[in-house]
Structure 1
Amino acid sequence: MCNHQSGRAASSGVPLDAASFSALMASFGPFEDRPRLLVAVSGGADSMALAILAQQWCAERAGQVLAVTVDHGLRTEAADEARWVAGQLAQYGIEHVTLRWNGAKSGAAVQEMARAARYRLIDGLARDRGILHVLVAHHLNDQLETVAMRQSHDSGPVGRAGMSARRMLPHCRILRPLLPVSRRDIEATLQAVMPAGRRPVAGARGDQAGQAWITDPSNRNRAFERVRIRQHLQLPDGAGGQNDLAGLARVRCDVEGETGRFLARHVAIEADGVARIDSAALINTVAHCEGSVSTVKRDAVLYGMGHILRVVGGGHYAPARDSIVRCLDLMGERQAVRQSLGGCVIHRRENHILVYREFGRMPHTACPVVINAPTSWDNRFQLCLEIPENGGLPEDRDGFSIVPLGACDPFHKRVFRQRLARTVPFWANRPRLALASLPLLCWQDQPLSVAGLEIHALSDVLSAAGCPTDHLELFRAIRVTWRFAPSAPLWEGGFKFVANP
């Protein structure tokens, strides 16, 4: 059951009021008229306080708040806690929804998987409701713990600076307005709250003393690194280390700004998901590093390369920094070399470097297609297959699937690849395995469309290779739309403001 904590738990915190929270939100502006906010609420003190403060902030601007709780299915109490959160927030007029993660839950990385699922579900809800801003309740104590964890892992300057106050998801932006606020101040804020219709009672305890919250027992489980770090830090008020955080944030701003410039000037992501990089800008910066300015530029190139590999390889995270350094060092030693890293091939040519998906490391099993709705493939491409109700198509509408082009037999004919290159000229200079990692739409194992080629263009390519095309006539009425759609932008740092790093 829920472990509801009373207001007597905190002692010396300073409550946040509407003016102080408005000042925290100002750094994320400007917002639209009548702003709409989605607030992630677990029921803990931090997220409960954030939802209440956000409701007050929106009410002053004729806006709306929607609270969301994600039930990961990891604890039996989670469903009851979500219902409790809904009932508590209803006292403030806050709409609440519960989302459930139904994925597999096993292995040592279950917490990381749950976190990824949580953001994926929240992003989908924001998309469905047309909400652009999602508030999450990470606070100063969380930031200090994150910095300590990343320093113990020898992270680079961006990692050592901790969490950013904002982060981009595909359909919304994540905002962390409470990062400068200590846990004690947050708990004091809840103690000072009085829900509508409730009157203060002298000497009250439990739910009657301000707004109650839930304590997650996993916050005391030393099996998790963050819990061990928290107990070691022993900073209940979050007061220590703020000056250090400010210095780390300034360094991160410098590196992020330089990373954005490197990516904008020297990197292009093509429609087929292949990155083209100016090899001189990449290799020379990494090889020649002297002084603080050069160090910032070198760090920026390493971070930029990590994000390129994440986007092109369809990963959720960039490869380890040391792995990127070793790879680029080898690139600098040889004029023509191919390296595998992060599910990608890094292929140096005469005056540029290509980064493309590694065919041997991607799934080759058929991915079912959802008709008249987006289908994501390999965390890189998105297909929209639209079929009219009366298109005269075969009854087997479950026969559509996506596979890598390299898994298709015609691809292994030289004449097929030659005709592909003539149909899309810039493909003529693509390595064979870069083309092999393109998505192919099939119907009952028969090729219908390649990303970048509609059905009629593929028909010409198949005909030139002597392959049958009769099945294509059945599908002239359908609409196939491909787009390269990685789960995160190439560089979300470009959307941040220096004022709140």
Structure 2
Amino acid sequence: MQKAAADSLVGLGNPVSDTFFASRMGQLGPFEEKPHVAVAVSGGADSLALSLLAFNWVNNKGGKLTALTVDHGLRESVENEIEFLRRLFKDKGIDHYVLSWREREVKGGIQSAARKARYNLLEACCKRLGIFHLLLAHQRDDQAETMLMRLLRGCHPLGLSGINAIRETYNVRLLRPLLTVPKIDLVATLCKHRINWCEDPYNSDFRFTRTRVRHALKFNSCASQRIADSAPFFQNANRTLDSKATFALIRAVSLFPEGFANLSKKEISSIPPNVLRRILLRVIMTVGGQNRYPQSDALKRLASNLTQGKFKGTTLGGCLFLNKIENFIACREYRNLPSRLKLVENKQLYWDGRFDVRTGLNIPSGSYLAALGTEGWEEISQGSTNKLKYVPRQARETLPAVFDKYGVREVPQLNFHRENREAKINFDTKYTVFITYRPRVTLSGKSFGLV
């Protein structure tokens, strides 16, 4: 990054006032009487302006602000940028934490992987610090870019709602109070207070789609504003459709703690096509464990095929759909499941966007977590009186299982614990792994919960 001088841009844009920011925060509540709020800060103009506005807001309420910076380890200049932020926040008395990401084996695009890692690190830190609210600096230009990119990609209409001002996860509320504010006003805010910021060279790298879209919108501010301003219209339309889908879903879909769902053929046959597509979208996001919407055309084909009576099975969004006598079954597709993960004692992790995993004490050396698979099921089912064989084979194979040097040790979702069966090996009975089905997105359309 290169520092941008605030003095050189004085007079451009309109600084965001504390009164305006307070009104935006009021729409994102409720908050505690003395709120403790975290803000994600990269050193760019947007996040630094948000930090300044949030700092004034929490001070007026007698609260506290904590700044979080993610170091992706992708650029050599990052140490200078972090030092710049440390000095800035130290002068203001703001606690500042640097979260490091050092993943070297990235599947897919580097920007997508870095974004996913960033949110995971930020959420984990908020949970560790007991912070319930995380502020993110997405602004109006970001909203327009996101909506245009999704439109060009043929995204599902839900994606055209753009970036939501509030998104609740299991551990934190993600809040974006600046979605109606253009970037130039945030720059003006920093200029007013003579605060410099950093420019990320990746923002000028035309290898990335967002950079090209940003460049196209840069010279047409009216188009950018109109695109961003249309987001509330799509959000209202989606809320109406969500309400209809929720009522229909109660009758049509049954979700099981083993991670699969039954869809009643009788019920879905009478559901309007647009409502059925929304129900299928929820099922896919819940059962498939993915964090991206499937394309709209693919979802339409699936809904049409399910109601035509000749459906034989298909996959979409990491989800496998099967045709049974009275129901369709949706379960996780076996492809692209996480690779084996070494287990250590007293840790918590999230597996495949579906299961919360917590390890106990005395984990034997060499223990690891992986999908049960066909061979694993054959191993634990031989001579077993397991009562959960109603779980479809395809769903069983995608369940998380604990393995050790002797084979399958535990599959909690199938109520299997090897020490409960007759064996010649003396196992440590203190060895425990707790696995709970907790999908990233629930069938209700929400992803928020208390644990």
SS in structure 2 of the partner of residue 211 of structure 1 = coil
Work out the CA distance in 2 between the residues paired with 1:278 and 1:313. 19
* 2:440 matches 1:479: no
Out of 277, 302, 315, which is 2:277 matched to?
Answer: 302
TM-score normalised by structure 1 residue count = 0.80
1:256-405 map, 5 Å: 256-264=242-250, 266-285=252-271, 288-289=272-273, 298=274, 300-334=275-309, 337-359=312-334, 361-363=336-338, 366-387=340-361, 397-405=364-372
Of residues 424, 427, 439, the one that matches 1:470 is: 424
Give, in whole Å, the separation in 1 of the partners of 2:230 and 2:335: 44
Aligned residue for 2:427, secondary structure, equals helix
Instruction: Please state how far the C-alpha of 1:239 moved relative to its aligned partner.
Output: 4.4
Structure 1 residue 437 and structure 2 residue 437: aligned? no
1:312, 1:356 within 8 Å by CA — same for their partners in 2? yes
Contact 2:402 / 2:408 at 8 angstroms: preserved in 1? yes
TM-score (norm 2): 0.89
- 1:483: how far off? 0.7
CA distance in 1, matches of 2:344, 2:34: 35
**Residues 26 and 305 from structure 1, CA distance in 2 versus in 1: closer, same or farther, beyond 3 angstroms?**
same
Partner residue in 2 for 1:244 = 230
Deviations 1:323-362 (A, max 9, x none): 2222232222236633223333212333332211233553
Q: Say if 1:405 and 1:411, in contact at 8 Å, map to a contact too.
A: no
Q: 1:453 to 1:339 in 2, by over 3 A?
A: closer
- Bigger CA drift: 256-265 or 348-357? 256-265
Distance 1:268 1:229, change over 3 A: same
Q: Which ranges of structure 2 fall in alignment gaps of 5 or more residues? A: none
Query: What amino acid is aligned across from residue 289 of structure 2 in structure 1?
Result: G
CA distance in 2, matches of 1:153, 1:301: 22
Show structure 1 runs of 5+ residues with no match.
194-209, 290-297, 389-395, 422-426, 464-468, 496-501
Listed as ranges, the matches of 1:188-267 within 5 Å are 188-193=188-193, 210-233=194-217, 234-236=219-221, 239-241=225-227, 243-264=229-250, 266-267=252-253
Matched letter for residue 257 of structure 1? S
The answer to whether the 8 Å contact 1:256/1:493 transfers is no
Three-state SS of the structure 2 residue aligned to 1:333 is coil
CA contact (8 A) 2:259 2:437 kept: yes
Larger mean Cα displacement after TM superposition, 52-61 or 227-236: 227-236
What SS is found at the alignment partner of 2:89?
helix
The number of residue pairs the alignment matches comes to 446
For 2:402, give the aligned amino acid: L
53-62 or 245-254, which deviates more: 245-254
1:36 corresponds to: 36
Supply the RMSD in Å over aligned alpha carbons: 2.8
Q: Does 1:448 align with 2:409?
A: yes
Shift of 1:434: 2.0
1:41-94: CA deviation from partner (whole Å, max 9, x where unpaired): 111111101011111111122211111111112222122112212211222221
Opposite residue 424 of structure 2, the aligned amino acid is D
Q: Summarize deviations over 1:423-462 as a string: whole Å, max 9, x none.
A: xxxx343222222222222331333221235566x556x5
Give the secondary structure class of the aligned counterpart of 2:241. helix
2:93: which partner in 1? Answer: 93
Question: Amino acid of the residue matched to residue 439 of structure 2?
Answer: P
Aligned identity (percent) is: 27
Partners of 1:409 and 1:455 lie apart in 2 by: 12
What secondary structure does 2:436 align onto? strand
Change (3 A) 1:176 1:89: same
Partner secondary structure for residue 43 of structure 1: coil
Give the structure 2 partner of residue 200 of structure 1: none
Residue 53 in 1 paired to residue 14 in 2?
no
Comparing 34-43 and 377-386, the one that deviates more: 377-386
* 1:412 Cα deviation from its structure 2 partner: 5.8
Contact 2:40 2:135 (8 Å CA) reproduced: yes
Contact 1:314/1:378, CA 8 A, preserved across alignment: yes
